[in-house]
Structure 1
């Protein structure tokens, strides 16, 4: 009997250790994903004077799509069926989230610093929550409204660089407004993707959405070429393109899908905030950017708003059974 008890206890300990190791590995994958994603903004800022934003966007999604496509070949039947049934939805959602959003952010990085971009992007979950309330009728309590207002004030502080007079003079950085618009587009993408409920596995769906992003980014890229805005593919340009397309593109998207499978969408998505820290650190080390007081003030307001949103969730109404 004692031997049996010890055996059961030993087995339980091994199971707990395996679960702990699995969870640690899942979080490691998610953190690595957001580190690679942060590097995209650094690379885009680094070559912003040499490579037009839509060229970078187009080649990023095209190369990532080409790399991931063979991995999902056993899903081709389901993917083709989904394209035949819902091609326009795929094009609109994929184009919005993986092309228009990225293109706007890359345009913004021509005029704004990467540190500011990283802080503004932290607003995405709050924008998503508001849109989910409006479009999907998801619950949003009083504390979520208060948190959203506080976080929005944080973005205003960053955009006006801590000076209310700049707002009165409309002395705003257009790059930061482009990044806000890109964040809004990504939130729209998230909500529409949630509403669409495409009946296909996550990675094959990502490949289809990347294909839609390629088609969406192509006209903008061709317009750049027609306007004689050509890429300077010197050493820096090639390094940046290789990074945003492979480690910061295909590999990052793949790791994000793995982290969602292991942690669930909610926990994996919350780790987005780590990206802001990674961007600030990398921008300082690689680009020489410095944190300003208005960055810290705006970030503090955004974090306070996020805490209201995350910790004080609205109470769901109990479902009453009809007799």
Structure 2
């Protein structure tokens, strides 16, 4: 069990660091090209794993009605908005905004899946939203930049993809849904990136290419496989608790690698956001399980 927890911690540290590495890479590559290259690397990694283990479920025609929207929202729009936002938003702020995903998922589940939204969820939402005001606030008030809007879009598209994934995994296993949506999303992203952004907008530095493909293979490919395996051993509910560490990992790695200052308001905001999410989902085991299962398929990590 200790080994499983260490592996889960490794995944969360990688995903938290991904915010910082993404912030570095968007200064070396145009955001859509960056997304396309990384998704291609991730797709190849997942396809290789599926080929070796032969863990690839078959799709019916009805599955495609959910798979296509999942690829559009969970991969194409999510990745594009995430890396575009990181051009102007620091990794810590992005990680804290994206930590609102569990609450957004709960709201969407209430609307589309008719799930209950308890008083505890309301209180947790209020606490977490208060934390957001601390995170995006400045001395002169609240300033919502276009970059922050893109990060909010990344969070929202991820939440939508969780709802779609929840319906799709009633029909096929989570790994197959993740693989198919990633490969399809990659196929959609590549032509869009080539049309919108010339191939000249890529880094001439070897380290940037190594970091790009390493992050795509390790953080989105390898970690998703490790996470899925450990979910079966410790349960999705326990595993999802580790996800609350992502903002703190992003904060520390950003400080160490980029020298990003950690302000007092950010610390207060991070405590409020994480505390609000924990309060809202503390006794919502089914929803926490869904978030844990979806974490391996998100481009946000």
Q: TM-score range by the shorter chain?
A: 0.7 to 0.9
Cα distance, 1:40 vs structure 2: 1.9
- CA–CA distance in 2 between the matches of 1:275 and 1:62? 24
Residue in structure 1 matching 2:185, options 192, 203, 213: 213
Cα distance, 1:83 vs structure 2: 5.4
- CA–CA distance in 2 between the matches of 1:71 and 1:49? 31
Q: Could you list the per-position Cα deviations for residues 251-274 of structure 1 after superposition, in whole angstroms to 9, with x for gaps in the alignment?
A: 121122122222222222222111
Instruction: Indicate whether 1:265 and 2:236 are aligned.
Output: yes
Instruction: Indicate whether 1:183 and 2:167 are aligned.
Output: no
Contact persistence 2:247–2:270 (CA under 8 A)? no
Q: TM-score, normalised by structure 2?
A: 0.86
Tell me which structure has the larger Cα radius of gyration: 1
- Unaligned stretches of 5+ residues in structure 1: 1-22, 315-323
Q: TM-score, normalised by structure 1?
A: 0.81
Relative to structure 1, the CA distance from residue 83 to residue 166 in structure 2 (aligned partners, 3 Å threshold; closer, same or farther) is farther
Q: Could you list the per-position Cα deviations for residues 203-259 of structure 1 after superposition, in whole angstroms to 9, with x for gaps in the alignment?
A: 232211111211232243123335x76212412321221222111121121122122
- CA–CA distance in 2 between the matches of 1:172 and 1:310? 27
Residue in structure 2 matching 1:102, options 75, 79, 84: 79
Residue in structure 1 matching 2:225, options 236, 254, 259: 254
Aligned residues: 283
Q: Could you list the per-position Cα deviations for residues 82-123 of structure 1 after superposition, in whole angstroms to 9, with x for gaps in the alignment?
A: 154422421211331133212211111100111111111211
Residue in structure 1 matching 2:133, options 138, 141, 156: 156
Counterpart residue number, 1:3: none
Contact persistence 1:260–1:268 (CA under 8 A)? yes
User: What pairs up with 1:129-144 in 2 under 5 angstroms?
Assistant: 129-144=106-121
Q: Could you list the per-position Cα deviations for residues 169-196 of structure 1 after superposition, in whole angstroms to 9, with x for gaps in the alignment?
A: xx42221221111111111111121123
Contact persistence 1:128–1:187 (CA under 8 A)? yes
- CA–CA distance in 2 between the matches of 1:94 and 1:271? 26
- CA–CA distance in 1 between the matches of 2:75 and 2:227? 14
- CA–CA distance in 2 between the matches of 1:175 and 1:229? 23
Counterpart residue number, 2:11: 33
Instruction: Indicate whether 1:297 and 2:289 are aligned.
Output: no
Relative to structure 1, the CA distance from residue 198 to residue 209 in structure 2 (aligned partners, 3 Å threshold; closer, same or farther) is farther
- CA–CA distance in 1 between the matches of 2:284 and 2:243? 19
Cα distance, 1:129 vs structure 2: 1.4
SS in 2 for 1:271: helix
Relative to structure 1, the CA distance from residue 63 to residue 113 in structure 2 (aligned partners, 3 Å threshold; closer, same or farther) is same
- CA–CA distance in 1 between the matches of 2:192 and 2:227? 27
Counterpart residue number, 2:256: 285
- Unaligned stretches of 5+ residues in structure 2: 286-301
Contact persistence 1:121–1:180 (CA under 8 A)? yes
Residue in structure 1 matching 2:25, options 42, 47, 52: 47
Q: Which runs of 4+ in 1 moved over 6 A?
A: none
What RMSD over aligned residues (CA atoms) do the two structures have, in Å?
2.1
- CA–CA distance in 1 between the matches of 2:245 and 2:157? 21
Contact persistence 1:39–1:279 (CA under 8 A)? yes
Relative to structure 1, the CA distance from residue 272 to residue 221 in structure 2 (aligned partners, 3 Å threshold; closer, same or farther) is same
- CA–CA distance in 1 between the matches of 2:44 and 2:176? 12
Contact persistence 1:136–1:195 (CA under 8 A)? no
Counterpart residue number, 1:60: 38
